[in-house]
Amino acid sequence: MVVLPERALVLKQSSILKLNVHVNELAELLAFDSPYAETNEIVVYGPYFDFESLEEVCARLRNCGLEYWDDFMDIKEDTPEWITLYVGGYRAK
């Protein structure tokens, strides 16, 4: 399980491989040099500065052929300080 930052982007590891891009290209595409956190199944990027920058990154991923929901999703909800959101991946059978 990974703690989520506010305004985060969660990608499946397998979907990143589908992009067939170099690490430097991925950093430019996602507007981050390195992930916030990662597991064997997912990679989390963030926190993004604002909703518009997160939407721009999602549009870039769609333009590269990834599908929202199947390959990635954004977490845009601001939460009170007393709530911590976690995310974890699983392998489909």
Query: Which residue ranges form the domains of the chain, and what is each CATH number?
Result: 2-86 (3.30.70)
- pTM for the structure as a whole: 0.81
CA distance 29 to 3: 23
**Residues contacting residue 20 through CB under 8 Å, at least 6 positions apart:** none
pLDDT at position 93: 54
Give the SS3 label for residue 14.
Answer: helix
The three-class DSSP label of residue 29 is helix
Give residue 72's pLDDT.
Answer: 92
Beta-bridged to residue 44, according to DSSP, are 10, 37
pLDDT confidence of residue 24: 77
Residue-level pLDDT, tens digit, the chain, 93 residues: 677 777 889 999 888 888 887 777 888 888 888 888 888 888 888 888 788 888 999 999 999 899 999 999 988 777 788 877 777 776 655
